[in-house]
Structure 1
Amino acid sequence: MSGSTSTSPTARGVWRGGRGILLVALIVILGAVAGVLLSGGSGGGRPLDPADASPSGGKGLAQLLRAHGVRVVRVTSVEEAQAANPGNSTLLLTDTSFLGEEEARLLTAMSADRLVVGAQSHLGILAPGVMPGRSARTRSREPGCALPAATRAGSAYLGGVLFDAPAGAARCYLADGMPSLVGYTDEGRTVTVVGDGQFMTNLRLAEDGNAALAMNLAGARPTLIWLTAPETVPGATGGKGLYDLVPPGVKWAVAQLALAVVLLALWQGRRLGPVVTERLPVVVRAAETVEGRARLYRARRARDRAAAALRAGFVDRITPRLGLPSAAGPDTKVGAIAERTGQAAAYVGAALYGPPPADEAGLIALAAYLDMLERQVRES
């Protein structure tokens, strides 16, 4: 008995030779894609949107305000904000990136207090006299001022952008001597600017005095007009796809890794040579294999497995002789064997699908019965 083998590298050998580099490349690519997917949109929602229930959203604050009798109106344009203003309201600005300078001036002309979150665009128009400065780590801070809304709330999760405040303004939640919350009066309207709005989000609302501070600032008037960015900014040519959201550095990294994988494949992959035939060192006879497996079954007293092997081999050999498909059911096979051999269907069924023999004598009897059935089918 002889076999053949090849002296050229196998696919497994090629894989083992370069699997380290391939594995690293795959991990980097998957990490980059996962980072892009997980980092888009600050927790997967619209930050400080009163209709957003994600960790970065503001739905929790909106619900609290409504429960305390404050009318919360979500608007996405200056026109909607003007129409929703009853004259005794607070205008909450969490995103002004979509507004132009003229639109910002229209907002300041409204007879409403203004609460500005973060260093928004047109801050000099929305909060005259307030200038953004350096940034500080956002953490739990004490008020450190006499502003009633802050002193009643106590410590809050503030920081972020620090501001230069106009003269006479309340300077609260200081970091390095600069306030992260500024409050003052401008032309009869209260203007409040905070450097970070995380204390108003669903994630942070229940910590420290965050809920109290947010409600004191946003719920000071019977109506809160909450201006958020529209779903699609007017004038936009279309929504961005996933590829557009991938940072340029990640694109270059993936391209370089792909080139490295191609070069590695060209280096490691060699043309398979001709097959070399050689004599195997040991010839194992089929009978020895059967006897060896039988000894193992006997040593472990695995009569169930031995019976299953006998039955499976019998069915595989007999089914083609009966003209049955391999997918035929047990009843069909039992009926066909009983008809060909003249044996009772109950005996045939018990031999093929009954319980395993209880002892070695039963196993020998089963083997003899199956051999007799196979001989009768072959001779019929």
Structure 2
Amino acid sequence: MSPAAPGQPGSGFALAEDADTADTANAGDTAGTTSRDAATTSTSPTAGGLWRGGRGALLVALLVVAVAVAGVLLGGSGGPGRLLDPADTSLSGGKGLARLLQARGVRVERVTSVAEAGSLAGQAGPAGSTLLVSESFPLGEDDAERLAAAPSDLLVVGVRKHLDLLAPGVAPVREARARSREPRCALPAATRAGSAYSGGVALTPPPGAVGCYPADGAPTLVSHTAGGRTVTVAGDAQFMTNLRLAEDGNAALAMNLAGGRPTLIWLTPPETVPPAGGGTAGFYDLVPEGIKWAVAQVLVAVLLLALWRGRRLGPVVAERLPVVVRAAETVEGRARLYRARRARDRAAAALRAGFTDRVTPRLGLPSGTGPDALVNAIAERTGQAAPHVGAALYGPPPVDEAGLVALAEYMDIVERQVGKS
């Protein structure tokens, strides 16, 4: 008798895994037969297909243009710009005004410290220069006092901190919306310019001062002479930026105020401003904005390249198997091989391995459980004698086919008892 022939006890233990494999093959064969008349492949268009179709060049061109436009919109002219910096060409910079003043014959001196501004003002002599201080410069109390004592005309734009030290008698009243306003005053620099973009903050002028561009009755530009020099305060500095310079009479007003003397000392914050509280700037604080946007654009380009060149998988394609082997035929064929070679030891090992794999999880034991623990658990669950269970699982292989059949029947009985307990 074959040790694992169909219909014999224990045949379901010896090669159950083979039966499962064959069943899976049958399912695959059925699926292949069902879809035999259908298309053998069905995939979505890939980037390579689009490229070969002649549309790839247009697609890449559109992506490059999109990345470039995004970089221009997000990055602007290399970053947010430096407000009223005579060397900055961004919308918030002041290089446009500096060029106009230089064309008019005014010498523009860009300085980044109060000490340097005071030194140049002393060299220019009394009333020989105009000192421009904007809201972009981080002023301290000592700085304001030193600037107020400089022997130059003083033009203060958009500054609200320490304004009482820079221009004694001038005080902010309230916020004023910046917009185009008429001068409505007798100040020649304003009347010649006409309407201009002004606001920011409304000011209280000192006695004898001239107030222009009023907002609800309070001027937004104040000019007065004190101690032989002219001090002018503007509540908003946007009329001097590259963005607003070409609107209304902004350029004329800015040139009249800043170009009244042969030299303009333009106070600008240093390239790297120390952080508040005396701390040190971090690594990313020292990286220019343009570098950050360039890295972002490179990352976008790499991502687009990966999407273009990357492999794209289509839907699953059913494929017919060349040969279909029934489960019963597989079991019978292997049983004949075992019998022909008298491989009762290998057949018994297969029976025991299959039995152990199925029974161990039912007993609640881990997969690596040792022989003693497994035998004791089976004996406790089924009531079988532990020596009998141990001999069946770990004893010597059967000496004949009858012993192999008896072993299969015994393990079949034990497995049923474990399942029912």
TM-score by length of 2: 0.48
Q: Residues of 2 paired with 1:212 and 1:236: CA distance?
A: 42
SS in structure 2 at match of 1:65:
helix
Match of 2:255 among 209, 215, 218: 215
Q: 2:242 matched to 1:182?
A: no
SS in structure 1 at match of 2:146: helix
1:106 pairs with one of 146, 155, 158: 146
User: Relative to structure 1, is the Cα distance of residues 157 and 169 closer, same or farther in structure 2, using a 3 angstrom cutoff?
Assistant: same
Q: Take 1:107 and 1:151, find their aligned partners in 2: how far apart are those partners?
A: 28
Give the fraction of aligned pairs with identical amino acids, expressed as a percent: 66
Distance (Å, rounded) in 2 between the aligned partners of 1:238 and 1:3: 71
Change (3 A) 1:79 1:182: same
SS at match of 1:202: coil
> Offset of 1:42 from its aligned partner?
12
2:329 alignment counterpart: none
Q: Which digits, 9 at most, give the CA deviation of each residue in 1:135-161, with x for residues without a partner?
A: 222111110000110001101111111
- Residue in 1 that maps onto 2:243: 203
Q: Shift of residue 61 of structure 1?
A: 0.3
Determine the structure 2 residue equivalent to 1:238: 281
Q: Does the residue aligned with 1:46 lie in a helix, a strand or coil?
A: coil
- The counterpart of 1:122, out of the listed 162, 175, 180, is 162
Is 1:79 aligned to residue 115 of structure 2?
Answer: yes
Partner of 1:151: 191
The letter of the residue matching 1:67 is: A
* Counterparts of 1:40 and 1:162, CA distance in 2: 32
Give the CA deviation at 1:98. 2.5
Alpha carbons of structure 1 residues 114 and 38: separation in structure 2 relative to 1, 3 Å: farther
Structure 1 residues 175-213: Cα deviation after superposition (integer angstroms, max 9, x where no partner): 111111011112221111111111111111111111100
| Number of residue-to-residue matches in the alignment | 222
Tell me if 1:53 matches 2:89. yes
Q: Does the C-alpha gap of structure 1 residues 80 and 239 become closer, same or farther in structure 2, counting only changes over 3 Å? A: farther
Q: CA deviation at 1:121?
A: 1.9
Deviations 1:224-243 (A, max 9, x none): 0000111123555115747x
Amino acid paired to 2:81: G
Q: Which amino acid aligns with 2:281?
A: G
Q: Distance in 1 between matches of 2:94 and 2:214?
A: 24
Q: Does the 8 Å CA contact 2:135/2:237 hold for their aligned counterparts?
A: no
**Please, which of 179, 197, 202 is the counterpart of residue 139 of structure 1?**
179
- 1:218-297 matches, within 5 Å, as 218-234=258-274, 235-239=278-282, 241=284
Confirm whether residue 68 of structure 1 aligns to residue 104 of structure 2. Answer: yes
SS in 2 for 1:66: helix
1:16-35 aligned within 5 A: none
Q: Which has the higher contact order (CA 8 A, sep 6+)?
A: 2
Pairing 1:163–2:206 present: no
Q: Structure 1 stretches of 5 or more lacking a match?
A: 5-33, 243-276, 280-380
Cα separation, partners in 2 of 1:142 and 1:102, compared to 1, 3 Å = same
TM-score with structure 1 setting the length = 0.52
The AA in structure 2 aligned to 1:83 is S
Offset, 1:97: 4.8
> Does structure 2 retain, via aligned residues, the 8 Å contact 1:77–1:230?
yes
SS in 2 for 1:129: coil
Query: Cα distance, 1:93 vs. partner?
Result: 0.3
1:94 alignment partner in structure 2: 134
Q: How much does 1:38 deviate?
A: 5.4
Matches of 1:42 and 1:65 in 2, distance apart?
Answer: 25
Amino acid aligned to 1:206: A
| Mapped contact 1:96–1:121 kept (Cα < 8 A) | no
Contact 1:97–1:120 (CA under 8 A) maintained in structure 2: no
**Which whole-Å CA distance do the structure 2 matches of 1:3 and 1:70 have between them?**
91
Structure 1 residues 215 and 81, CA gap change in structure 2 (3 angstroms): same
Whole-angstrom CA distance in 2 between matches of 1:239 and 1:129: 41
The SS at the match of 2:85 is coil
In the alignment, structure 2 segments of 5+ residues that lack a partner are 1-28, 35-69, 286-317, 321-421
Q: What is the alpha-carbon distance in structure 1 between the residues aligned to residue 82 and residue 109 of structure 2? A: 17
Range moving further from structure 2, 132-141 or 64-73: 132-141
Distance 1:39 1:204 in 2: 20
| Secondary structure in structure 1 of the residue aligned to 2:147 | helix
Q: Secondary structure at the match of 1:116?
A: strand
Quote the Cα distance in structure 2 between the aligned partners of 1:165 and 1:194.
11
| Shift in CA distance, 45/130, structure 1 to aligned 2, threshold 3 Å | same
> SS of the counterpart of 2:81?
coil
Q: Tell me the C-alpha RMSD between the 2 structures.
A: 3.4
Q: Name the counterpart of 1:7.
A: none
**Equivalents in 2 of 1:98, 1:180: separation in Å?**
22
